[in-house]
Structure 1
Amino acid sequence: MRGFGRALIASALVVTAVAGTAGWATADAQQAVTGPPPGAAAWRADTVIGRPLPDPATATPREVALFFAGLSGPEQQTLARRHPEIVGNLDGAPVHLRYEANRLAISATHDLRYARLADADRQILAFDPRGRGQVAEVYGELTGAAHVSVVVPGSDIDAGTFDRTNDRYGTPAGMAASLRAATHDATAVIAWAGYTTPVGVGLDAATGRLAEAGADRLTRLTEGLDATGAPDPVLFCHSYGSVVCGLAARDSDATDIVVLGSPGMRADTAADLHTDARVWAAKDSSDWIDDVPHIEFAGLGHGADPTDPSFGARRVPAADAQGHTGYFAPGTESLKAFAAIATGDVR
């Protein structure tokens, strides 16, 4: 009974302690955004090119890639103009066509919160305005890239905070830009805010519900990269994003999974992730995540600390990173190590 009592206390602590990148805010329960974006019915019914269009809810990224490969350039452009919200989010579609479609989709919202995302120099790989908004952006040239990395963020990230200027290295945009610069532009990096993240502290941050939905979307992203000929990616997973990556690990073809400031990966050991990817973990001594109980009990908490030697992950040096969002700051040991992992320069 004594052990059971300690577990109950730890579970209560998890509810009040597990959070994401923004820290100690009051939580709001979130509804995960799933399935294709609005416009799927009109897309399915469209006969403009004289053949059935792939169902965005059921077609695999490889099927999508094969479909677009069989279209002429004008046919592809026609579909992007008529259905930008679908083409822009269709994993397996040509990436430059998705960029064009998402500029149209963002402009069509007439929402000033998203106007900056439609700038001509931005490569928006996905945009979904539902809920708090989801977005993915490519830094570098994805087509023909020798290396690809994907940044998976934690709590309080959405289309509005994706590239906020305060706490820059706690945002997927800031992390992605910093990583690409540290590799001397040797890798393309996707800043992926493609799932519904928790807001603040509460049950969403302490449970795996949103992470499970996010893992499905992350797996589809990696399948889309594979279908378009991109190399197997390296996943960089921050805070609650490491829960997403832990759940996606089994179905992802990532070469490496790097977690930083992790509350756990819903696994007791790296072997329990059932992945061929190398697993890495970073945590600095000033990161408040170290105060979060590393347990999983009755659905609360995310399990073992990936930086614990018993977990079996490779340790990334992070002694000079500051706080929960300092791992990608220029000049840090952690960023230097991340760059080496991203470009395959470590064994």
Structure 2
Amino acid sequence: MRRRRWKRVLIGAFAGCAVLVDAGAAAAQAAASTEQVAIATPPAGSAAWVQDHSLGRALPDPATATAGAVAAFFAALTPAEQARLLAEYPLVVGNLDGAPLDLRYRANRAAIAAERDRAQDRAADRSLDSTARALAVSRANDCAHLLEPGRQILAFDPRGRGLVSEVFGDLASAERISVLVPGSDADLGHHDQAAEPLRSPAGMARALLAEEQRQAPGTRAAVIAWTGYVTPSGLGPDAVTSRLADVAAPRLERLLDGLDETTDPAADPALFCHSYGSVVCGVAAPDLPHTTGTTDMVVFGSPGMGVQSAAELGTGVQVWATRNPDDWIGNVPYLEVGGLGHGADPTGSGFGAQDVSSAGASGHNGYLAPGTDSLHNFGSIALGRYQGVNLQQPEAG
């Protein structure tokens, strides 16, 4: 009992410190936040999928099949067989890493349309209270936006707050691929925000792709905004432990395994890990697949990566780190005590990362703003143009 009380005290200290340095709205959010339920199981329809032998062969188990096995399975199907599986199991097909990209885009459009219709029915159901109906209206609107022409949804899962991953650019032909791993509060409802777009995964991904195209208009690039895990809500207990990151890391690794089967870039995908997303990247780092060489891992606004040095992340990872002086995350303790906290500061001199400049950036979400050193540097790293990266200069004195 005494140990549990001490753990609560530590959680309160970490969360309280974060709250004190952030705005009042974030403080209110922290006070109201609750622990999130991590999603570790395959999407709805997976049980029926596994039991389906109508094609005369076993379908790959979404819980255990490798991306290579999934790719081989779909390669052996006729277009009619693929279309039939899509129609019967859109959530399964849409979330299977290793399945053909275009098939996944089509499957997810079907799954999103079904979720929109379900939400619209709930919004019109007068037996529900006003709060439930309002949430249903919001969910229907979020889904409707994802169904707009030209959107490429690589993964969609309506459970809980909703998971969604979107592709910007032509992933199938991309020479350079980047994956943006967001932090707290990323979910279906916050995937793409018209107001303050750089607070959303989609907005950050668009900004990164636009910078790559500005620097190298002849290079085919693609960026994935990956909200493929349940993120912490606000600044509560989940934000100061690795519990959600521990579940997220294998999902990130499967995404990269799937890209290895369905894309052919000139280098391994680069990871851009914001805030709590850098904890996910830190957990995943030792087990990341490396096909062509070293994986570039860019961490910005990081509370730590769960380690004391970059050497603990494995030899196949090159860490680049930045934090601007106005980012409140810098006032959070960089330590780990009894499973609370995320270890050393990645921008610290002894960590072993390349400390890149973020001059011009402001706040926790301003790293991809136009004209900032950080946006320029992120674009250069994504393109593999390392000579163009501006490193942070040590302070005089």
Whether TM-score is above 0.5 comes out as: yes
Aligned partners of 1:102 and 1:127 also within 8 Å: yes
Using the size of structure 2 for normalisation, the TM-score is 0.82
Give deviations 1:147-205, integer Å, cap 9, x for gaps: 10000000011011010222211211011000000011642000001100001112100
User: How many Å apart are 1:242 and its aligned residue?
Assistant: 0.3
More helix by share: 2
Deviates more, 1:240-249 or 1:50-59: 50-59
Higher relative contact order (CA 8 A, sep 6+): 1
Residue identity over aligned pairs, in percent, reads 52
Residue 310 (structure 1) shift: 0.5
The one-letter amino acid of 2:52's match is: D
Q: Specify the alignment match of 1:3 in structure 2.
A: none
Counterpart selection for 1:34 from 33, 40, 43: 40
| Structure-1 separation of matches of 2:238 and 2:52 | 38
Match of 2:378 among 321, 338, 343: 338
Q: CA deviation at 1:81?
A: 1.2
Which of 239, 253, 258 is equivalent to 1:224? 258
Q: Equivalents in 2 of 1:229, 1:291: separation in Å?
A: 40
Out of 96, 104, 107, which is 2:110 matched to? 104
Q: In the alignment, which residue of structure 2 is the partner of 1:15?
A: 15
Report deviation, 1:35. 1.4
Trace 1:34-113 onto structure 2 (pairs within 5 A): 34-109=40-115, 110=117, 111=119, 112=140, 113=142
The structure 1 residue matched to 2:206, chosen from 152, 177, 192, is 177
Q: Is the 8 A contact 1:307 1:315 kept in 2?
A: yes
Match of 2:355 among 297, 315, 319: 315
**C-alpha distance in structure 2 between counterparts of 1:200 and 1:168, whole Å:** 18
Cα distance in 2 for residues equivalent to 1:135 and 1:64:
20
Separation (CA, whole Å) in 1 of partners of 2:79 and 2:57: 16
* TM-score normalised by the chain length of structure 1: 0.94
CA distance in 1, matches of 2:77, 2:37: 37
Q: Distance in 2 between matches of 1:100 and 1:48?
A: 22
Q: CA deviation at 1:51?
A: 1.7
1:8 and 1:59, CA in 2 relative to 1: closer, same or farther beyond 3 A? closer
**Quick one: distance in 2 between partners of 1:312 and 1:95?**
36
2:289 is the alignment partner of 1:253:
yes
Moved more, 107-116 or 317-326: 107-116
Q: Which range moves more in the overlay, 221-230 or 231-240?
A: 221-230
Task: State the 1:9 CA deviation.
Answer: 8.4
Question: Is residue 206 of structure 1 aligned with residue 240 of structure 2?
Answer: yes
Specify the SS of the correspondent of 1:79. Answer: helix
Q: How far apart are residue 11 of structure 1 and its match?
A: 6.4
* Displacement of 1:49: 2.4
Q: Please tell me the root mean square deviation across aligned C-alpha atoms, in Å.
A: 2.0
For this pair of structures, how many residues does the alignment match? Answer: 341
Residue 80 of structure 1 aligns to which amino acid in structure 2? L
SS where residue 350 of structure 2 aligns?
A: helix
Tell me if structure 1 keeps the 8 A contact 2:208–2:223.
yes
Cα gap change, 1:274 to 1:46, in 2 (>3 Å): same
Q: Secondary structure at the match of 2:180?
A: strand
Matches within 5 A, 1:215-294: 215-231=249-265, 232-253=268-289, 255-294=295-334
Q: Which residue of 2 aligns with 1:4?
A: none
Contact 2:305 2:342 in 1 (8 A): yes
User: CA–CA distance in 1 between the matches of 2:300 and 2:383?
Assistant: 18
CA distance in 1, matches of 2:169, 2:103: 16
Which has the greater radius of gyration?
A: 2
Q: What amino acid is aligned across from residue 238 of structure 1 in structure 2?
A: H
318-327 or 111-120, larger mean C-alpha shift:
111-120
2:188 matches 1:135: no
Distance in 1 (CA, whole Å) between partners of 2:9 and 2:103 is 52
- Structure 2: unaligned runs, 5 residues or longer: 1-6, 120-139, 388-397
Q: 1:149 aligns with which of 172, 178, 197?
A: 178
Partner of 1:326: 366
Shift of 1:12: 4.8
Q: SS where residue 380 of structure 2 aligns? A: helix
Deviates further, 279-288 or 40-49: 40-49
Give the AA of the match of 1:105. Answer: A
Whole-angstrom distance in 1 between the partners of 2:171 and 2:14 = 39
Structure 1 runs (4+) greater than 6 angstroms displaced: 7-11, 19-22
Give distance in 2, aligned partners of 1:42 and 1:101: 17
